[in-house]
Structure 1
Amino acid sequence: AAKREIVNVFLSLPDDDIIIADPEGEYYPLVNRLGGQVVRLSPSATAGTFINPMDINPNYADDEDPLSLKSDFILSLCELIVGGRSGLAPVEKTVIDRCVRTIYRPYLADPAPERMPILQDLYDELLKQSEPEARRVASALELYCTGSLNLFNHRTNVQVNSRLLCFDIKALGKMLKKIGLLILTDQIWGRVTENRDRRRATWVYQDEFHVLLAEPQTAAYSVEIFRRFRKWGAIPSGITQNVKSLLESSEIESIFGNCDFLYMLSQAAGDQKVLASHLGISPHQLSYVTHSGSGEGLLFYGDTTIPFVDHFPQDTELYTLLTTKPEDKANGQG
């Protein structure tokens, strides 16, 4: 369904940009066929493609201190890295914010590319602080700076200016995938801010969206950045097959409250009841997402709800690029 919309946007809106965060390596055949750019991130030492989570540009925020928004992102990143059920403690948040402002000071005074901070700079600055909480955060960061998971401890070395861009992070594995998704959200935000000045719309597709909603700080940041996407002329889409995890998020009301368009396919019985209570779906409307076939479901647009059937012809090259069905792949279509 998301690929169908991507194709439509690509063909009918040639001045718009399309960016995909792809955690499962499902979009690259389509992107390659349309002449787009696929950026694969891998922890392998031979991969050599790096994205710097500390990147910031002059347009990062225009209505407030850009470092405040960047600090929110880095707090979310540290929350994922440090872990724990309760997230970051208040003192930990304070020392992280203090260190963020310190390490960006030289770059903001003279914004040369070689002055852009990296994760190592944050780690080193945390070790200089007197609070024991700072050392705890630094110890958690060590694995991602000098340890075996140091993929995101380098300056960005790939140009990502293509109109159709796919970040493929399938190779990251379980430990890095959550972090990778969050970092890509921030990278895409940088592109959105640049495009607003160029008066270009940006279509953003974030697959496995529920992954970003598991921790409170990360969920709050993700919902806020999606809200900013819309405010800054982007069209963000969150995609998930794990509706249960999505509905468990503390930010679910904010998510639905900021969505003008919902595209719902067949749903499990338990999820249907919760979705019905959040979205006001009638029993008759629910019948369209109960044991429904491929390409059948409900569209929610503003206050309007429409059942739909979209049976895409299977004897086309485009279908082979869109399908993710195992049976199609077994028959050589995918």
Structure 2
Amino acid sequence: AGMDTKDFICPPSLKFNKADFEIGNAYGAVWGMNILAGELPDEILKDFLEMQNLFCVNIHVDPLDQIDALKFVKKKLTNVEQMKIDEQKKASQSGYDPDILPPAIKMYIEDIEKLLGDLNSKNERLFHISISLRAYAKSKKELKLLSEMLKRTCQKNNCIMFPYDYRQEQTLVSTLPLGYNEIPVRREMHTSGIAIFVPFTTKELFQDGQATYYGINTLSGNMIRANRSRLKNPNGLILGTPGAGKSFSVKREILDCFLTTVDDIIICDPEGEYFPLVSALHGQLIRIASNSEQHINPMDIAIDDYMFSNPMEVIANKSDFLISLCEIIVGGRYGLSAEERSVIDKCVQRIYKHFIENEPTEDKMPLLSDLQRELHEEGEVALRVANSLEMFVNGSQNLFNHRTNIDMSNRIICFDIKELGNQLKKVGMLIVQDTVWNRVSANREKKKITRYYIDEFHLLLKEEQTAKYSAEIWKRFRKWGGVPTGITQNVKDLLSSQEVENIFDNSDFVYMLNQAAGDRDILAEKLHISKEQMKYVTNSGPGEGLIRYDKVLLPFTDKFPTDTEMYRLMTTKPTESA
């Protein structure tokens, strides 16, 4: 039809008046901004951009050649010196002390001499700067109101706003992104002064592809999207006081990962909070309890090519786990002796060598009863361990002496250990960790990422055996394609021993919600967080805090609409979940 892009972008009409212009059915105006002060506050642009109105701050910066700049400043200094001499002459003629000068002249001389020194020795440059404000409104009344708001903001920052009478057309064109400047008012400023108008004062975190949404950058209002798999060390921690929104944040990440990636997701749930979400995603919920019909075999190993090519490494890993398991079961002040550890290792090697060498299948997988039988054969040295296993093999807590009867191939699996007693909970959480390790081993062969979420992480850190096993996961999961995440209330739990402290040091992703006073000090020291940044985790509301992604540290706000089905699935508030 003979039309081009401009026909669709341009308004139907423009009419220029004395101090404003009509643009279609709306009104607009361009004003100039004159800088009165020698220095400007560095939040001048922030004050403008916090206003939720339709307007534009336009800045034209034109650099001067360094030689021309020096000539210009020297000429200004000469002019001011001449003003000083004229004032001194007047003072002498009137009988006053010639050294008494108007304050303005003294200030001008000091400022110009300082600028001249900066241009000569501090790598400063001189620029011409023109600043204008362009605004739009649906009516003249709205436009006038907006102009008053802008005028107040200018006055607050030692500037004055004035109209461009009869120059609306030239100044409108100058405020468009064309590099064309017909604005008549300009001011000279050096590099440090110009830097105040650079708006990029915040860090951003926005990655494309399969990235997870973590909220809005509190400072800039931009989205935060990141893929933890791209980190050198993708291990993560989610920290916050009760009610700060830890579980909700974890569910947000789980849901995002489920929808935007093909990663496997495994959850250890000591409080039974994740059932609604896992159920809605058609995941596998595994209820581990004394009366449950679902069973996990702690003696399981992944039957794959890696097992056949590296049998001794697989057996060594299993032996390490079973020694930790027996240490929790035997208990006592000192746990297992060195002889008992050696005997357990010897029995484990014997069991699995026989299993691997004789056409291994899931139906032939060893059980805890096999380990107990082997220990009985070792005689007196293994008797204490074998007797301690009796309750878990033939006694009332024999739920772990069965072959696994659950579909472990589901993409999202949740282990619900809420109904386990305190002693069994430690055993259950350790067995869950080993089951996850087997899944990570199987996925490594498929080049697939496995995400593992451990809620109430501090429960694992209280016991030496589970803490050591957790630290091992944090050290080695990365190489196997695992992305573990610990959710806990207190940072102090992560500093209880040198072993556990490695978990904190080996986590490049830290999601911090509201923190207790003692924890804030630890985080500030460990992560080098400034006092200003710590304000975002001090008495902050749910879904507000700081996120650390490698070396990027920025505040976030994650407000989720409460009238949605997704919110109902993820909330942990008793009144709302009911």
TM-score (norm: length of structure 2): 0.54
**Match of 1:215?**
463
Give the whole-Å Cα distance in 2 for the aligned partners of 1:17 and 1:321: 20
Give the whole-Å Cα distance in 1 for the aligned partners of 2:271 and 2:278: 14
CA contact 1:214–1:249 (8 Å) conserved in 2: no
More strand by percentage:
2
**How far 1:251 sits from its partner (Å)?**
2.1
Give the whole-Å Cα distance in 2 for the aligned partners of 1:55 and 1:81: 18
SS in 1 for 2:395: coil
**Match of 1:161?**
409
Is 1:195 aligned with 2:440? Answer: no
Q: Cα deviations across residues 152-209 of structure 1 (Å, max 9, x unaligned)?
A: 0111111111112111121222221111111111111111111121222211112122
Map 1:1-334 onto structure 2 (within 5 A): 1-13=249-261, 15-44=262-291, 47-59=292-304, 65-110=313-358, 111-132=360-381, 134-329=382-577, 332=578
CA contact 2:468–2:500 (8 Å) conserved in 1: no
Give the whole-Å Cα distance in 2 for the aligned partners of 1:280 and 1:90: 42
**How far 1:257 sits from its partner (Å)?**
2.2
SS in 2 for 1:43: coil
Give the whole-Å Cα distance in 2 for the aligned partners of 1:202 and 1:4: 17
Q: Cα deviations across residues 132-161 of structure 1 (Å, max 9, x unaligned)?
A: 3x2122222222111111110111111111
Q: Cα deviations across residues 104-144 of structure 1 (Å, max 9, x unaligned)?
A: 23211121333211111111221222343x21222222221
Give the whole-Å Cα distance in 2 for the aligned partners of 1:201 and 1:214: 28
1:30 maps to amino acid: L
Structure 1 window deviating more from structure 2 (224-233 vs 65-74): it is: 224-233
Give the whole-Å Cα distance in 2 for the aligned partners of 1:220 and 1:41: 23
List runs of 5+ in structure 1 lacking aligned partners: none
Q: How many residues align?
A: 326
Give the whole-Å Cα distance in 2 for the aligned partners of 1:223 and 1:266: 25
Percent identity, please: 54
CA contact 1:32–1:38 (8 Å) conserved in 2: yes
Question: Computing the radius of gyration over CA atoms, which structure comes out larger, 1 or 2?
Answer: 2
2:339 maps to amino acid: V
Structure 1 window deviating more from structure 2 (217-226 vs 4-13): it is: 217-226
List runs of 5+ in structure 2 lacking aligned partners: 1-248
TM-score (norm: length of structure 1): 0.91
Q: Cα deviations across residues 278-322 of structure 1 (Å, max 9, x unaligned)?
A: 333333322221211100111111122111111111111111111
**How far 1:272 sits from its partner (Å)?**
2.2
SS in 2 for 1:147: coil
Give the whole-Å Cα distance in 2 for the aligned partners of 1:194 and 1:86: 35
